């Protein structure tokens, strides 16, 4: 464990820039388009600052753009408060996205039409297994999954059930829509992943119009393609999701509903900073249990907390640049963040001197 957490000196390498430059040189990419897709279920923290700087900073270097897209596919956890806070945080870091502000909910109708197309082409089906059955039959990392008894449900029946799910005729948990891929795949993400769940919950933007909501994997890549994102940048935990990202995009494109070339997912190592907890679940627990005064408590690694503590946007940008972008997980010593802050303030801060407790001194016969 000690070897894993050993702090390392920042490296300014950036393999993503090399990929982008190669795509531009070959003509594969005409305009670099990235996206920053936060879920509005909490305040952005220090780790998000790195992603923001990469996704907004990279296309700026090549005359491209970055879309700000809110991944609002889970109505039970998302609020307008977090949407506003995320916008403020991105602005504070010095980046602009307008008019390219989007929500995954903007595409709910399109995503539904894409889903019906996949059912019609034999690539998806409505599964009526219980949650326990779904979990049990999915298998494990060492054991293959088992086909659902509903896997070969007639296309017409799946289409009817999906329509009834949308119309609110079935309770939560009674059905899901799944992609038909391979229940024996060594990659568990390809074992007939869920595309839609029933969730009778009020959405902060669409209200009660929808009672089925797309999963992250179904909505993410397709939203990228709809927005013509060229380079979809995300952290390494999504690396084994990439085959599913490509599978969904390819199947929808095969149906003639997306134009090629399709978006490309590229993964980079997340930022690991010593002595800092960035787990959103843990940060929410700190706030909810009143261990801190709020998200803007100076002890919190949330951007609003760091701003209140005295960190500057320029320091975070400088730190992101110095730590570089790699595929190797490393730990960066917190001292490097303070160094970036000092270097940023060195060029900006006004100097002043004062005598706090003066002593009167009278000179005679001088």
Tell me, what's the pLDDT at 3? 42
- Output the pLDDT for position 1: 38
Confidence band for 9, pLDDT divided at 50, 70 and 90:
low
pTM of the full structure = 0.89
What is the per-residue pLDDT across 141-165, written as a single tens digit (0 to 9) for each?
A: 999 999 999 999 999 999 999 999 9
Residue 34 CA to chain centroid, in angstroms? Answer: 12
CA–CA distance, 120 with 80 (Å, rounded to integer): 36
Percentage of the chain exceeding pLDDT 90: 87
Fold of 1-99+269-366: Rossmann fold (3.40.50)
pLDDT higher than threshold 50 for residue 199: yes
Question: Which of 11-15, 16-20, 196-200 has the weakest average pLDDT?
Answer: 11-15
Nearest to 112 by CA among 67, 190, 165: 165
CA-closest candidate to residue 10, choices 344, 319, 327, 342: 319
**Angle separating helix axes 108-120 and 216-226, nearest 10 degrees:** 110
CA 309 – CA 293 distance, rounded (Å): 13
CA distances from 29 to 43, 90, 108, 165, 273 (A): 33, 26, 28, 40, 34
Mean pLDDT, the chain, rounded, equals 94
Residue-range domain boundaries for the chain: 1-99+269-366
Per-residue pLDDT at 5: 44
**HSE-CB for 11 with a 13 A CA cutoff:** 13
* Catalytic site positions: 39, 270, 280
Whose tokens are 């930022």? That residue is 271
Q: What whole-number percentage of the chain has pLDDT above 70?
A: 97
CA 113/CA 108 separation, integer angstroms = 9
Instruction: Say whether pLDDT at 13 is over 90.
Output: no
Which of the four pLDDT bands, split at 50, 70 and 90, describes residue 6? very low
pLDDT tens track for 95-141:
999 999 999 999 999 999 999 999 999 999 999 999 999 999 999 99
In this structure, of 126-130, 227-231, 310-314, 326-330, the range with the lowest mean pLDDT score is 326-330
Between 326 and 243, the more confident residue is: 243
Range scoring the smallest mean pLDDT among 3-7, 138-142, 223-227, 251-255: 3-7
């Amino acid at each position: 464990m000690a070897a894993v957490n050993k702090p390392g000196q920042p490296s300014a390498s950036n393999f993503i820039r090399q990929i982008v430059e190669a795509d531009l040189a070959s003509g594969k990419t005409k305009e670099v388009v990235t996206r920053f897709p936060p879920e509005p279920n909490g305040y952005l923290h220090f780790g998000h600052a790195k992603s923001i700087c990469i996704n907004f900073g990279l296309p700026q270097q090549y005359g491209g753009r970055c879309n700000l897209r809110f991944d609002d596919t889970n109505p039970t956890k998302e609020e307008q408060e977090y949407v506003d806070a995320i916008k403020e945080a991105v602005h504070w870091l010095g980046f602009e996205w307008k008019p390219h502000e989007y929500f995954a909910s903007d595409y709910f109708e399109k995503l539904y039409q894409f889903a019906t197309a996949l059912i019609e082409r034999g690539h998806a089906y409505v599964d009526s297994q219980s949650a326990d059955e779904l979990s049990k039959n999915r298998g494990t990392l060492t054991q293959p999954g088992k086909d659902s008894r509903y896997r070969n449900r007639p296309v017409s029946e799946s289409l009817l059930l999906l329509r009834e799910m949308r119309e609110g005729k079935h309770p939560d948990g009674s059905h899901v829509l799944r992609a038909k891929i391979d229940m024996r795949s060594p990659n568990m993400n390809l074992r007939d992943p869920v595309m839609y769940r029933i969730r009778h919950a009020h959405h902060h933007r669409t209200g009660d119009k929808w009672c089925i909501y797309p999963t992250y994997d179904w909505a993410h890549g397709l939203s990228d393609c709809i927005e013509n994102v060229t380079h979809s940048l995300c952290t390494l935990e999504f690396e084994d999701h990439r085959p599913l990202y490509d599978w969904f995009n390819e199947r929808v494109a095969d149906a003639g509903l997306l134009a090629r070339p399709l978006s490309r997912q590229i993964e980079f190592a997340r930022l690991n900073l010593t002595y800092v907890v960035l787990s959103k679940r843990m940060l929410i627990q700190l706030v909810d249990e009143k261990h801190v005064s709020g998200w803007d408590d100076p002890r919190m690694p949330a951007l609003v907390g760091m701003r209140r503590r005295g960190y500057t946007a320029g320091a975070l940008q400088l730190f992101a640049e110095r730590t570089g972008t790699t595929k190797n997980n490393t730990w960066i010593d917190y001292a490097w963040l303070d160094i970036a802050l000092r270097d940023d303030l060195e060029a900006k801060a006004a100097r002043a001197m004062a005598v706090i407790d003066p002593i009167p001194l009278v000179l005679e016969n001088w």
